[in-house]
Amino acid sequence: MVRCSAITGDVFSRHDIKTHDESSSRLYAACAGIPEGISIIEPKIAHEEDLLRVHTRSHVHMIREFSSHGGQHYIDQNTYVNGESFEVASFAAGATIDAVHRSIDGEHSFALVRPPGHHAEPDKAMGFCIFNNAAVAAAEALERVDRIAIIDWDLHHGNGTQKIFYRDDQVLYCSIHQGNIFPHTGWVDEIGAAKGKGYTINTPLRPGSTIADYRFVFERVFIPALEKFRPDAVIVSAGQDALSDDPKSDMLLFPEDFGTLTRLVLDATDNPLALVLEGGYGPSHGDAIAAIFSALNGSSGLPEPEGEPHKTTQDIVAVISKMTT
């Protein structure tokens, strides 16, 4: 059995506004799903040169400067920093780097961190995200391996991750998300550019989508793409805000469905997985984390498919299939 670890720590509670949706309480709720017996690893901090692989120097220095002032400051209407945020966000990126290296070395590893990262662009913090944890980790790991796949199942499109690797053929970025919500990107015709053309795959789904829709996309689009790309490492941007009880969600996923998604990715690659926490704000988030760890530990196979995907999902998959063949 492949070893499995979680990387998390009390440091992530120091970037906090208790009344904000992205507060430390949501990480505590997620970590409640870590099963007994999982190794808990203390996070390591990312250095400035790690951040600069994907972020502009002005962005990194701006976050450092805002944070140095102490107090609470909003970068935009959703994204805040306080006196601890630069260091905490650096630990979030560093923990994700560690998770990716652990996966390359043969261990499933889940970086349960905050703030999340997939909305952060090279020169912009947004959508609760300060530094792009998955992108920083992927760029650092590309010093060691040749190809990395990022699977993003957060409710929202990871505009920052897409933008960072849009012209890159060493990173395959696959996102499944609710269409036409924040950040209003991630349409099927966004497929990459220059040598990265074809290495970005977006599947925006209609509200009310179920595991039948997600499974159809994974089996018909993401898994074939992974098998063709043959990555040396796989990162999952694991946001569980598509849960049916999540206040931000119009989707109908349940905790066990995230175990199914994890199993689908595991079955498509020989690589242990590196996961990093993105969104997730509902009461069953911890149960979804437990289902992910259960799949990582090999305790359950794929359930029998239930229901049929929506016609719109089938149409999107048909369009993407034509674009990628």
Which residue numbers are catalytic? 119
Q: 228: exposed, middle or buried (C-beta count within 10 Å: 0-12, 13-18, 19+)?
A: exposed
* DSSP states along 266-314: HHH-SSPEEEEE----STTHHHHHHHHHHHHTT---PPPP-S---HHHH
Residue 307, Cβ density class (10 Å: 0-12 exposed, 13-18 middle, ≥19 buried):
exposed
> 128-166: buried (b, 16+ CB within 10 Å) or exposed (e) per residue?
bbbbbbbbbbbbbbbeebebbbbbbbbbbbbbbbbbbbb
CB atoms within 10 A of CB 314: 15
- The SS3 of residue 73 is strand
Tell me, rounded to whole angstroms, the distance of Cα 138 from its chain centroid.
Answer: 12
CA nearest neighbour of 183 among 155, 153, 159? 159
39, containing H or E segment: strand 39-41
**Cβ–Cβ < 8 Å for 116, 165:** no
**In angstroms, rounded to a whole number, what is the distance separating the alpha carbons of residues 206 and 305?**
19
3-state secondary structure (DSSP) of residue 148: strand
